[in-house]
Structure 1
Amino acid sequence: MTHPIQLGGIHHAAYRCRDARETVEWYERMLGMTYTTAFAEDHVPSTGEYDPYMHVFLDAGNGNVLAFFELPQQPEMGRDPNTPAWVQHLAFRVADEAALLAAKAHLEANGVDVLGPTWHGVFRSIYFFDPNGHRVELATDIGTEAQYAELRRVAPLMLAEWSETKQAPRHADWLHRQPGDEG
C-alpha cells in the first residue's frame, strides 16, 4: 500500500539566528551558499501573533534550502543546556575527500576553528560553528555499495537492540576500523 503522504524532499530547514545580515554573509563567504529570498513580517502568518521577524533563505545546492529567522523581539537565543553541543548540527555533503580538505583549509584561513577530518566508517567529516553557535558539519561519503547495503540490513536490528538495552549495538563494529587497523 502506498503511504498517503508522498514527500518530495525537504523544502527548507529553518533555524534561529542572532543577526540575519551577518548570517547570510557568513554562509555566502564560508560555504559559498547563495542568498535567494527574504520574508519580513510583523505578524506570524500561521498564528497571527505580533512577533516581527526577518526570514532569510540560502541555497545549499541540489534544491536544498537553509533558512534562518532573526527575532529581535524575543529573548536572546540560547541552546538546550541538557543536549551536548555536538548533537544538534547541520550537515552538508561535499564531493570527495579533496573537497573536504580544501573546505577545511578555506575555513581555517578565515579564522574558523575546525575539528577533523573525523572517520565515520562510510563517511568522513569536519565540524565547526557558525556565528550563531550552530554546529555545522561537512561530510563526504567514502563507503562502498556493499557497506551501505549492510548498514540498511542491520539498521532494524540495531534499533531493536538499542530500544531494549540503551547500549550501543555491535552489529556494525566494522565501521570503527580504519583502513590498516588490526582486527
Structure 2
Amino acid sequence: MAVLDQPGRDRGHDRTVNYGLPHVNVVCELRVAHGASSTPILSDEQKLAPAANDGAASPGQCLQVVRKQLEQLKDSLIPIKGLHHSANRCRDAEETRAFYEDFLGLPLACSLRRDRTEAGVETPLLHIFFQMRDGSYLAFFELPEVEFEFTEQDPSDLHIALEVGALAMKAIQIKAKAVGLEFHGPAELEALTSIYFRDPNGYVVELTTKKDEHDEVMDPERNDARGILDAWQAEKQTSA
C-alpha cells in the first residue's frame, strides 16, 4: 500500500498514488499547498471515481474514499459480467422445448432460423433459447443435415447445474415422479443439495439448492482454493 504522507517529502508538490489494481487504474492525486487544506482529486481511466472533489479533505479522508469505492466496485474488477448463454446440439428442438419449458418451466425466449453456421457451413439450422430468472439462457442448435454423436455423459464428465429454491426442488421431484421421469438424488455435496436428470439429448442437468455454509465453502479467501490446486498438481507429478 502506498504511503500518503511520508516524512521529509515536500508537501508543496503534487503526488500521485497508484494502487496497482488489475483492470481498474484508480489514482488518487493529492494536491497539497503550503498552509492550505488538501483537495483530493479522484480519477481513473474508466471514470469509476468523480473527476473532482470540491470539499477540503485530508490525505487520510482521500484514502477512505478510495477504499469505499473499491469495496463497492469489487465485483466489477472481474471482466466477465456473467453467463449470456450456453449452447449445445439437440436431437429435436420440440422434444428439447418440452423438457426445458414444459417440465423445468424455462420459457422459450427466442428461436432463430439460419442458413449457415457461425463457421460459415451452409446448412439449415434452428437456434433456440430458454430464459432463466437472472436473464441468462440455455440454448440449443438443431442441425438436421449435420451429423453429431450424442453420448450419455457421466455427471463428472459434463453437466450443467441450475440453482432452484427448496420449494421448487421438492415440487420438481414430485412432478418428475408423476410423469415417470427418472432422476438421481438428492445428493448431499459440500455446499449444495442436488438432483440430476438427463434431458432428451442425454445431457446431465443438475438442479441444486445452496446449503447454509455455501458462501463460506465457496469463498476463495477462506477455502485455500489455490493451495489445494497446487497440492493436487504436485501429487500428480510425484505419482507420475
When the two structures are superposed, what TM-score results if normalisation uses the length of structure 1? 0.79
- Percent identity between matched residues is 35
**1:75 equivalent among 147, 152, 159:** 147
Structure 1 residue runs of 5 or longer lacking an equivalent are 168-183
**2:94 equivalent among 4, 21, 32:** 21
Mapped to 1, the partners of 2:146 and 2:222 lie a distance apart of 42
Give the conservation status (yes or no) of the 8 Å contact 2:113–2:127: yes
- Per chain length, whose mean CA-contact separation is higher, i.e. which structure has more relative contact order (CA < 8 Å, sep 6+)? 1
Aligned to 1:95: 165
Mapped to 2, the partners of 1:27 and 1:53 lie a distance apart of 19
Shift of 1:3: 3.3
Mapped to 1, the partners of 2:115 and 2:231 lie a distance apart of 48
Shift of 1:151: 7.7
- State yes or no: 1:157 paired with 2:177: no
Give the conservation status (yes or no) of the 8 Å contact 2:194–2:209: yes
User: Aligned to 1:23, what secondary structure does the other structure show?
Assistant: helix
Change in 2 beyond 3 A, CA 1:48/1:147: closer
Aligned to 2:22: 2
Shift of 1:17: 0.4
Q: Which amino acid aligns with 1:63?
A: G
- State yes or no: 1:136 paired with 2:136: no
Mapped to 1, the partners of 2:108 and 2:162 lie a distance apart of 16
- State yes or no: 1:110 paired with 2:179: yes
Give the conservation status (yes or no) of the 8 Å contact 1:54–1:70: yes
Q: Which amino acid aligns with 1:36?
A: A
Q: Which amino acid aligns with 1:133?
A: G
Q: Which amino acid aligns with 1:105?
A: I
Mapped to 2, the partners of 1:151 and 1:131 lie a distance apart of 40
User: Which is greater in Rg?
Assistant: 2
Structure 2 residue runs of 5 or longer lacking an equivalent are 1-20, 25-77
CA RMSD of aligned residues (A): 2.4
User: Aligned to 1:153, what secondary structure does the other structure show?
Assistant: coil
**2:104 equivalent among 22, 31, 51:** 31
Give the conservation status (yes or no) of the 8 Å contact 2:150–2:201: no
User: Aligned to 1:61, what secondary structure does the other structure show?
Assistant: coil
1:25-48 deviations in whole A, cap 9, x for unaligned? 22111100000101111112x332
Shift of 1:57: 0.4
Shift of 1:146: 3.8
Between 1:143-152 and 1:54-63, the stretch displaced more is 143-152
Shift of 1:166: 3.8
Aligned structure 1 segments of 4 or more residues deviating by more than 4 angstroms: none
Aligned residues: 163
Shift of 1:86: 4.2
Q: Which amino acid aligns with 2:224?
A: V
Shift of 1:150: 7.0
